[in-house]
Structure 1
Amino acid sequence: MLEFPVIDKEIANIAPDFRAISVFVEIKDDTRGTIARNVLEEACDFVRAGGPAWSEAHLASWSDTYSRFGAKPNRTPCSAQALKKRVEKDGRIPSINPIVDLYNAVSLRFAIPVGGENFDAYVGKPQLSVADGTEVFDTVMNGEAVIENPTKGEVIWRDDIGVTCRRWNWRQGTRTRLETLGGRMWFILESLATMPEEALEEAANMLVNGLRQLAPGCEVYRHKIIAG
């Protein structure tokens, strides 16, 4: 069983129905494959057709959760809501690279925030916690690298040296961003009670199956997490 991520007890007060699946992947050789279908394009089509059935309820739950820790979900929505809005506006999401396309497709098809991280850039374990406001967050503004601090009381993902994602899953930092397929990678699929429990498992299966197609022979470890 994985010994991470660590979920602070305060999270249960903000989202008592929070549950997630953590997926750790290690690629030890250079063997690479492909996914036969264009999963990102198919996921965009699925969203435009109105799927999945729980989408509106689940994303509304995330908006309520964001409001509970002081965020403004209309300005800084959860990652799944942001992706959905882009598809509704533009019809498609541009391809970035196979690994990012895969987890974006999972996010769209299941209306669930999905994070992908370069675990080799981590110092210590991933931790979901409430910020005290002094933590450092590396990002880019107007093309320049900058350091920000989260708002006190904001829910953040972090490691031992700083914030890796602000406002729960709104904006990922640059230090741990997953840009290539290789090494050690970590993924987190985050849900609330308005998403069917079996759908969370299906989302994780889609991610793991895609990872094994992209990197045959990779080692995959997964486990379920609940708040509290």
Structure 2
Amino acid sequence: MLDDIWVDDSVFALRPDFAVLLMTARGLRNGPTDDRSRGWLEQASALEVQTGKIDAWKDAYRAFGAKPQRTRPSVDALTRRMPLPEINRAVDAYNSVSVKHALPIGGEDLDHYVGAARLVRASGEEESEEALGRPEPGEVIWRDDAGVTCRRWNWRQGVRTRLTETTANALFLLERLEPMSLEELKEAGEELADLLSEMSPEVQITSRLLSNGK
């Protein structure tokens, strides 16, 4: 499944330093926030925000015409919600890693996907949920065969594919720009895998790094 996910060349032309670590987690035992996942959130909330990495995402948004003060990159919005909100165990896990590394992370329910995920520049004609609105031409979006799954790179996710307490099979998208190194991206992925394994000991995790020219 991971081999079918792709990033359009037009996105790499916009930001040649972009890379995404793709992770699937099959056999999750998700559920409501508990004391363990609450502890992850509390630890992340106590950390100092790494503004330099977030500024890189603001620049990326401006490059395709978005105003990051109005539609903020996901990690920027998340760091402004301290203490971190309790959602569910899987979301708590990736939100805590996201804040720790100033790294946008998306979590998607694989069982609600239609075809493969891909990151593209929008035509403006894509199917999109009413709450998301229709993307603007040239906007960077994640999508599948059924339509938009996340607008403005990582600004807002659709309802159809979001992680819920009953999600059993998930896709995680860890999105990197410089100055984050690929080594730190890998470390963040390993930390997320450890948290998911802690909450779901039988989970099966696979990963793939997708970067410019690869």
What TM-score results when the alignment is normalised by the length of structure 1?
0.86
C-alpha RMSD of matched pairs (Å): 1.9
Cα separation, 2, equivalents of 1:154 and 1:202: 29
Q: 1:214 to 1:126 in 2, by over 3 A?
A: same
Partner of residue 151, structure 1:
136
Q: Which of 65, 71, 96 is the matching residue for 1:70? A: 65
Give the letter for the 1:130 counterpart. Answer: R
Residue aligning to 2:152: 167
CA deviation after TM superposition for structure 1 residue 58, in Å: 1.1
Choose from 53, 61, 74 the match for 1:58. Answer: 53
Alignment of 1:129 onto 2:120: yes
Trace 1:19-38 onto structure 2 (pairs within 5 A).
19-27=19-27, 36=36, 38=39
> Closer, same or farther in 2 for the Cα pair 1:59/1:20, shift >3 Å?
same
- Amino acid in the other structure paired with 1:111: A
Q: Distance in 1 between matches of 2:163 and 2:29?
A: 18
* Structure 1 unaligned regions, length at least 5: 141-146
Q: 1:6 maps to which residue? A: 6
Output one character per residue of 1:137-167: Cα deviation in whole Å (capped at 9) or x when no partner: 2153xxxxxx721001100000011000000
How many aligned residue pairs are there? 209
- Unaligned runs of 5+ residues in structure 2 are none
Larger radius of gyration: 1
State whether structure 2 residue 86 is matched by structure 1 residue 95. Answer: yes
SS at match of 2:201: coil
- Report the alpha carbon displacement of residue 94 of structure 1 after superposing the two structures with TM: 2.1
Residues 131-140 or 15-24, more deviating: 131-140
SS in 1 for 2:46: helix
Which 4+ residue blocks in structure 1 deviate beyond 3 angstroms? 34-37
Aligned partners of 2:29 and 2:199 also within 8 Å? no
Match of 2:45 in 1: 44
Contact 1:35 1:210 in 2 (8 A): no
- Which AA in structure 2 matches 1:172? Q
Q: Percent identity?
A: 40
Does structure 2 conserve the Cα–Cα contact (< 8 Å) formed by 1:26 and 1:184? yes
Q: Deviations over 1:26-81 (max 9, x none)?
A: 11889xxx7846111100011xxx25xxx222111111110001110111111001
Mark the CA change 1:29 to 1:16 in structure 2 (over 3 Å): closer, same or farther.
Answer: closer
Amino acid at match of 2:135: P
Residue by residue, what CA displacement relative to the aligned partner does 1:156-212 show, whole Å, maximum 9, x if unpaired?
000011000000000000111111254221001001121132211111011100111
Instruction: State yes or no: 1:188 paired with 2:183.
Output: no
